[in-house]
Amino acid sequence: MSEVIKKAPETMTSKQRVRNTFAREKTDRVPIDVSFNEDIYRRTMRALGAKNNEELLEGLGVDFRAAGAPYTGPLLYPEKPGRNVDPVYGFYTRWVEHGSGGYHDFCDFPLKDADSETIFNFPVPSADDFDYDSAEAYMRAHADKALYVGNAGIADIINSIGRVMSMEDTLVNLMTEDEATLDLVDRKLDMELGQMERLLARCGDIVDFVWLGEDLGTQIAPMISLDMYRRVLRPRHQRFVDLAKSYGKPVMMHNCGSSSWVYPDFLEMGITAVDTLQPEAANMSPAYLKQNFGDRMVFHGCISTAGPLSFGTPEQVREEVRSTLEIMMPGGGYMLAPTHAIQDNTPTENLLAMYQAAHDFGRY
């Protein structure tokens, strides 16, 4: 594979680099991460001459590797023509094409307008129904990388329940603390917590952090009240944070939209890193985050998928990366990543410009 991205000189492994960043200690360069939609992923593979996913990540200089356990349990949810059903969570999607690719659109919502009995009886897999051997094998084979358990959807309540119940029903039922809905939430979280506990028990010696998620903001304001977060969501998120802390692992929480309003609670809970950081959302600009939380939190994200990356030139992308790093790098504690999966409307040359700029301007 030819070197398309000229990487910054490195004196640390990915694991050392990310661990030092969580500890706000000196690194050789900022850690780098990526997430893709399907078409831009394929185009990046071709641009880099990568034959597989690992070659793609190495070609960009990505430090992070996921460690999830594949589902091996029974089929719990009915299949439908023209739909994909998620075997773990039971939501349905349909493929919708658009001018620059396509996406899997959530649809059908099996628990929309459902009565309590239907919600109580909605199946959730057991934590035993996953292949932990393959997850451990993957982590052991990539032990020099920054390894995490969980992901941006683990411990998530609003999105994950909304995908089977609809967002409106979910928010109303959470606000009113509907018994059947909270039972479904807790059964789902028990399954996820069980997975995480098994992975940490097996691989805690090489896992570097725990990644959780919960979307809490619109572009302009909170999605729910702070009171509702504290009553309904926070005690449930705390279970995952406490598990991570029992293994000595830092916790990163993914939040879309305007979400800095909840960061003081995160700090009280023991969450020390936050992900996504959409700079166009209210109170989420790099300068605002650095000024208000830069001495207490670690940041992962900030390079908007709705700005120059999709709609600008490579030169504008480079400038956005440079200016973001200029704000975020002093004092450490920053990991460069896109705010979401990079969308299919992103020109390949803009993606390459982003990662080249990360190596050019992200050196300490």
The pLDDT tens digits of the residues spanning 151-186 come to 999 999 999 999 999 999 999 999 999 999 999 999
pLDDT band, very low/low/confident/very high, at 1 (cuts 50, 70, 90): confident
pLDDT band, very low/low/confident/very high, at 350 (cuts 50, 70, 90): very high
What is the pLDDT at residue 103? 85
Please state, rounded to an integer, the average pLDDT across all residues of the chain.
Answer: 97
DSSP-derived secondary structure for 216-233: -B-SSSBSS-HHHIIIII
What does the block give as tokens for 275? 């992900």
The pLDDT tens digits of the residues spanning 108-155 come to 999 999 999 999 999 999 999 999 999 999 999 999 999 999 999 999
Contact 92, 165 (CB under 8 A): no
Query: What is the CB-side half-sphere exposure of residue 229 using CA atoms within 13 A?
Result: 18
What is the pLDDT at residue 99? 82
Angle (nearest 5°) at CA 205 between 204 and 206: 90
What is the pLDDT at residue 101? 79
pLDDT band, very low/low/confident/very high, at 228 (cuts 50, 70, 90): very high
- Domains with residue ranges and CATH for the chain: 14-73+114-361 (3.20.20.210)
Of 17, 41, 39, 37, nearest to 28 (Cα)?
Answer: 17
